[in-house]
Amino acid sequence: MALPVKQQMIYWGIALAMFFVILWALGDVILPFLVGGAIAYFLDPVADWLERKGFTRIWATVLISLVAILVVVVAALIVIPLLVSQLTGLIAAAPELFERLRDFLTTRFPQLMDENSPLRDSLAAISETLQSRGGELVNGLLSSAMSVLNFIVFIVVVPVVSFYLLWDWDRMVARVDDLLPRDHRPVIRGLAKDIDRTLASFVRGQGTVCLILGTFYAVSLMIVGLQFGVVVGFVAGLISFIPYVGALFGGALALGLALFQFWGEWWWILAVAAIFQVGQLVEGNILTPNLVGGSVGLHPVWLIFALSAFGSVFGFVGLLVAVPVAAAIGVLIRFGVEQYKQSLLYRGLDNPGDE
């Protein structure tokens, strides 16, 4: 005999509360395990594909790990130092850029930049803040993000966790499936498949889109010769998972830098604008339809809210779990709406068969 619904809700509520308490209490301690689990989840389809090609699970995992190590080494030796160098250079140059912006506005639009202009006061305040705090910001980004010991633990633990989770992924899924309540197993399996489909479309598909776009923007802006183009392109690609935000933010920042650097050479400024236009066309017509699919089930506003809320409460760990939790909540809400539409509360006693 199944437990009453009220008692079931109590148990599921306790489990959910324990999840959030553990997430809040452990914080950065579980960060390497969350990252390792995310990597294993991302690479599981690759391991499954290699198994279908004749590899055993262990050798598929070893091959994926070797390729991943090679990519990380190349990134550590070439890409990451370039990004750090350009990021620190951009922060250091920000006061000068604001000074040049103020001079430009004063020359072109003197009526907006008189002595009593709020815009003039705002730009002056921003410039003074960047001059006084720019060095602190750089040091904070490079040194206070985590201690050296935590960083070493992170880079050692994450690959180990990823390897073992990827190796045992199918067995772990089977064990979890075996523990599902018998009365609700079909419903839970269906919900889990929907959540997995949403996550796969978003995390795997949209992550690949962000990687491709970030590489395209960074390489293209570097070829054009835009100062700080690599870091601007990388950031634009990184936040492209929110529709139009990556292109708008990255395009506005790149065009602003291009106006300072290429003023008078309009073809270069047009080339920077064309790069983001091409990126949007390729994303909308090729990448997103083929890699993400037509319906992910995560509305941009809901996604932004989840990232903001979880990031505020749980910090960086909250940002990592925001997307999976948002996807799960979205699936559960859609399931609840379907159940409501099939209930007498929605249909009424007089129209039990209405569609």
pLDDT band at 58 (very low <50, low <70, confident <90, very high): very high
**Per-range mean pLDDT, top range of 66-75, 87-96, 200-209:** 66-75
pLDDT at position 144 is 47
pLDDT digits (tens, 9 = 90+) for 286-311: 887 777 665 556 677 777 788 788 88
Which among 206, 234, 196 has a CA at the least distance from the CA of 300? 206
pLDDT at position 61 is 93
What are the CA-CA distances from residue 154 to residues 16, 30, 70, 318 (Å)? Answer: 27, 10, 18, 17
Residues 6+ apart with CB under 8 A from 335: 191, 194
Between 41 and 24, residue with greater pLDDT? 41
CA angle in degrees (0–180, nearest 5) for 108-110-113: 115
- Range 109-136 average pLDDT: 56
The answer to whether residue 14 scores a pLDDT higher than 80 is: yes
User: 31 and 320 in contact (C-beta within 8 Å)?
Assistant: yes
Residues 6+ apart with CB under 8 A from 271: 224
pLDDT digits (tens, 9 = 90+) for 241-260: 776 777 888 888 888 778 77
| SS3 state of residue 147 | coil
